[in-house]
């Protein structure tokens, strides 16, 4: 499986040179060449790009991302086997990471998701070791900090991992030594995040690591917000949309579209005052219509589990996740055109993706048949809790808890604070598959001989 996954990635690199671009890619490159906190996205991935800037090759970046994608599959397999999962379960759990066509295409895009996935899975695999000392706990914390500074959705996992490090020692006498790993992990995760927050504050005089939380939550609530129910104050009423929710555009149009009430306000969309106003509107909408908010989250989450792959949120975004049959058009929006200039300086040459046949055609054909359906993701997520319930939560079933909880949090967070996106599902799959493999072998941390090195 690993060999086949490597061959598919070689074909992808031969078919699409040097890389594929997503709208976010241009912002990442600008931040890489001019390091400073971005208002919308943390700077973890731009710093990753900056590591390779001396080589002036986006092809090298995609090569490294493909190697990281293979690494995720290897981590899943090795961790499952070392915790005594059957060979068939360990191999099966690694297959989606190694062979899913959309995973391979995501690795070829200049976006943060592959880096985020390998950081999260590395932390998960360390977290389910038989023993977690303070050094391992420190490593977990640093990995979670790096993941959070790559995608902010990683922040809740800091608390999840701390709780896990305490939970896995249940049944033992609570002592300071038992709590040490959780404390070390929290410190190791918190310090880099606070350091980045200080940099962000020094740049914008704002507390946080991004300045767009209110804006995105506002856009989320526009899927259901009814000002007749909310009765907002005059300063908030300017953000109302009189159209019924079913007639409104996709959520991202309220962030980027020129007709958005938020975008029409004076100044930049992510200014401190505008973001605060959007956050207040979103909070009022959720408090006034909690059931509508919950329904919106559930309906967005349900998109993760469809058997097919319907177009969403619109054709433009959807097409970025498909291997193209012709070079994509150059960016049209000003920020992206500025980013394209930075990208040409980074590459010291053309950045236009070359579609080389027959390799590109092979990957397009492969993508038509080789993907993990959303319904299969749901089944994989259900396997661990159902198996544990059948076994009445006997001790041997506990190792699945951390990867399953990680997968669930990563899946739920985007629909809860923004919207569903197909690429947000892919980093969830390795952790979910590892959890399923672990219940197949019924491993725990006490049935492994001490001479087995993990």
Which DSSP state fits 109?
B
Average per-residue pLDDT in the chain? 91
Name the percent of the chain lying above pLDDT 90: 80
- pLDDT exceeds 50 at position 451: no
- Within 323-438, strands assigned E span 354-355
The pLDDT of residue 443 is above 80? no
d(CA 241, CA 244): 8
Whether residue 158 contacts residue 110, with contact meaning beta carbons closer than 8 Å, is answered with no
169-222 pLDDT per residue, tens: 776 656 777 789 999 999 999 999 999 999 999 999 999 999 999 999 999 999
The CA distance from 359 to 355, in Å, is: 9
Structural contact between residues 224 and 285, judged by C-beta atoms closer than 8 angstroms: yes
Q: What is the mean pLDDT of residues 76-104?
A: 96
Q: Closest Cα to residue 301, out of 212, 413, 143?
A: 413
Residue 337: pLDDT band (50, 70, 90) is confident
Whether 396 has a pLDDT exceeding 80, the answer reads no
Whole-angstrom distance, CA of residue 419 vs CA of residue 221: 10
Cβ atoms of residues 119 and 394 within 8 Å: no
φ and ψ at 153, to 5 degrees?
-65, -15
List 109's β-bridge partners, or say none. Answer: 20
Residue 442 confidence (pLDDT): 57
The predicted-structure confidence for 191-203, as pLDDT tens digits, reads as follows 999 999 999 999 9
pLDDT at residue 454 in the model: 37
C-beta atoms surrounding 420 within 10 Å: 19
pLDDT band with cut points at 50, 70 and 90 for residue 335 = low
- Confidence band (pLDDT; 50, 70, 90) for 445? low
Euclidean distance between CA atoms 220 and 341, whole angstroms: 32
What pLDDT shows up at residue 178?
77
Element (H, E) at 16: strand 16-17
Contacting residues for 219 by C-beta, under 8 A, at least 6 apart: 251, 252, 254, 255, 262, 418, 419
pLDDT of 449 reads 43
Distance between CA atoms of residues 157 and 147, nearest Å: 10
State how far the Cα of 42 lies from the Cα of 80, in Å rounded to an integer: 32
Confidence grade of residue 450 (pLDDT, cut at 50, 70, 90):
very low
Confidence band of 336 (pLDDT split at 50, 70, 90): confident
pLDDT at 401 > cutoff 50 = yes
**Measured over all CA atoms, what is the biggest interatomic distance in the chain, rounded to whole angstroms?**
69
Nearest of 77, 129, 167 to residue 393 by alpha carbon: 167
User: How is the chain split into domains, by residue range?
Assistant: 2-207+309-441, 213-305
Q: How far is Cα 442 from Cα 77, in angstroms, rounded to an integer?
A: 15
Q: How many CB atoms lie within 10 A of CB 34?
A: 9
């Amino acid at each position: 499986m690993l060999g086949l996954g490597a061959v598919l990635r070689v074909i992808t690199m031969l078919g699409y040179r040097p890389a594929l671009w997503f709208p976010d890619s241009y912002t990442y490159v600008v931040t890489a060449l001019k390091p400073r906190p971005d208002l919308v996205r943390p700077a973890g991935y731009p710093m990753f790009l900056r590591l390779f800037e001396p080589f002036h090759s986006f092809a090298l970046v995609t090569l490294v991302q493909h190697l990281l994608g293979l690494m995720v599959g290897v981590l899943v397999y090795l961790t499952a086997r070392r915790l005594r999962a059957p060979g068939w379960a360990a191999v099966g759990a690694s297959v989606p990471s190694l062979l899913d066509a959309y995973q391979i295409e995501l690795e070829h895009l200049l976006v943060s998701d592959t880096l985020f996935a390998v950081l999260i899975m590395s932390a998960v695999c360390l977290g389910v070791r038989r023993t977690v000392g303070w050094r391992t706990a420190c490593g977990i914390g640093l990995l979670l900090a790096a993941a959070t500074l790559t995608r902010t959705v990683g922040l809740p996992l800091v608390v999840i991992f701390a709780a896990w490090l305490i939970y896995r020692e249940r049944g033992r006498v609570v002592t300071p030594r038992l709590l040490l790993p959780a404390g070390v992990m929290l410190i190791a995760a918190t310090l880099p995040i606070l350091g980045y927050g200080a940099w962000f504050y020094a740049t914008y005089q704002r507390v946080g690591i991004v300045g767009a939380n209110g804006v995105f939550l506002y856009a989320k609530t526009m899927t259901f917000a009814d000002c007749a129910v909310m009765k907002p104050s005059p300063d908030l009423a300017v953000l109302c949309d009189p159209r019924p929710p079913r007639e409104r555009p996709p959520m991202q149009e309220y962030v980027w579209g020129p007709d958005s009430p938020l975008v029409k306000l004076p100044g930049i969309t992510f200014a401190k005052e505008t973001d605060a106003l959007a956050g207040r509107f979103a909070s009022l909408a959720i408090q006034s219509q909690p059931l509508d908010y919950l329904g919106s989250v559930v309906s967005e989450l349900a998109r993760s589990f469809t058997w097919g792959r319907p177009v969403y949120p619109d054709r433009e975004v959807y097409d970025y996740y498909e291997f193209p049959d012709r070079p994509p058009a150059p960016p049209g929006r000003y920020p992206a055109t500025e980013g394209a200039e930075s990208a040409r300086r980074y590459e010291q040459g053309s950045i236009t993706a070359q579609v080389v046949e027959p390799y590109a055609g092979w990957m397009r054909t492969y993508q038509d048949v080789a993907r993990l359906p959303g319904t299969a993701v749901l089944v994989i997520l259900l396997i661990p809790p159902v198996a544990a319930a059948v076994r009445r939560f006997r001790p041997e079933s506990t190792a699945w808890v951390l990867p399953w909880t990680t997968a669930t949090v990563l899946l739920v967070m985007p629909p809860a604070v923004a919207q569903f996106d197909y690429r947000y599902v892919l980093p969830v799959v390795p952790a979910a598959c590892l959890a399923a493999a672990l219940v197949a072998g019924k491993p725990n941390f006490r049935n492994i001989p001490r001479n087995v090195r993990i």
